[in-house]
Chains A and B, each alone.
Chain A
């Protein structure tokens, strides 16, 4: 089946540091989204990015669909960035999202 692997699985940063999270897909990329799951479990939409590059404040994302990967960049990290970051994409033509394995980020003050 379709696999979505994320790396690194765990990441600890000092406040102010930058980081890159990666998402690799075993199948073609459709309707890719990045999410942040906060400590209370709420999934927050970060980007809808099936291809190309987008930026929103300190966050940006790039998807290279032809090479089946996506990157999430976090610059000048803050303690509120802590949580789990998931990428997910749609199994072709189904609207069903397959979630990645997640990156657990902890930003230290």
Chain B
């Protein structure tokens, strides 16, 4: 149990386009999901907390108009990178909190390359 999926796993897009990444908790409901960003050979940095039915909360330095988050249901959160630029190229990972056991479970990640 406690499986989190992400789609797509890899995306290459042109500069200026928008990219949507989906994060789903497959076998549990998650009122809270998280979006992280990871640059090569670095640790994970929390970008935002996604709350079902309310606005996401963003970490300091993360542009909310750049990284749009929607948590429309208890099993789905989406991250849209708007008007992507090469500096947005990174590995994006989501996680979902399984409250019953106080653990976070992570999706397999999405590698975004902006040309």
Q: Of B15-23, B67-75, B76-84, B102-110, which stretch is located at the interface?
A: B102-110
| B-side interface size class | 20 to 34
Tell whether A31 is near chain B: CB-to-CB under 8 Å.
yes
Quick check: A31 and B93 within 8 Å, CB to CB? no
Which of B32, B41, B91, B106: most chain A Cβ within 10 A?
Answer: B106
Given the known interface contacts A40-B108, A41-B108, A95-B49, the answer about A86 and B102 at a Cβ–Cβ threshold of 8 Å is no
Indicate which residue in A33, A42, A45, A102 contacts B108 across the interface (CB closer than 8 Å): A42
The tally of residues in A whose CB lies under 8 Å from a CB in B reads: 21
Given the known interface contacts A86-B44, A96-B46, A100-B43, the answer about A43 and B103 at a Cβ–Cβ threshold of 8 Å is no
Question: Residues 15-47 of chain A: 1 if any B CB is under 8 Å from the residue's CB, otherwise 0?
Answer: 000000000000000010101000011110100
Indicate which residue in A43, A95, A102 contacts B93 across the interface (CB closer than 8 Å): A43
Tell whether B97 is near chain A: CB-to-CB under 8 Å.
yes
Indicate which residue in A41, A42, A96 contacts B34 across the interface (CB closer than 8 Å): A96
Q: How far is the CA of A44 from the CA of B101 in the complex (A)?
A: 16
| B96–chain A nearest beta-carbon distance, Å | 11
| Residue numbers in A under 8 Å from B102 (CB-CB) | 31, 48, 50
Q: How far is the CA of A96 from the CA of B48 in the complex (A)?
A: 9
Quick check: A102 and B34 within 8 Å, CB to CB? no
Write the residues of chain A forming the contact surface with B, with a CB cutoff of 8 angstroms. Answer: 31, 33, 35, 40-43, 45, 48, 50, 86, 88, 95-102, 104
- Can you add 18 more A-B contacts, CB < 8 Å, to A48-B102, A95-B49? A31-B103, A33-B104, A35-B106, A41-B38, A41-B91, A43-B95, A45-B103, A45-B105, A50-B102, A88-B44, A95-B32, A95-B34, A95-B97, A96-B49, A97-B46, A97-B95, A98-B46, A99-B36
Q: List 16 A-B contacts (CB under 8 A).
A: A31-B102, A31-B103, A33-B104, A40-B108, A41-B108, A42-B108, A43-B44, A48-B102, A86-B44, A88-B104, A95-B97, A96-B34, A97-B95, A99-B43, A102-B43, A104-B41
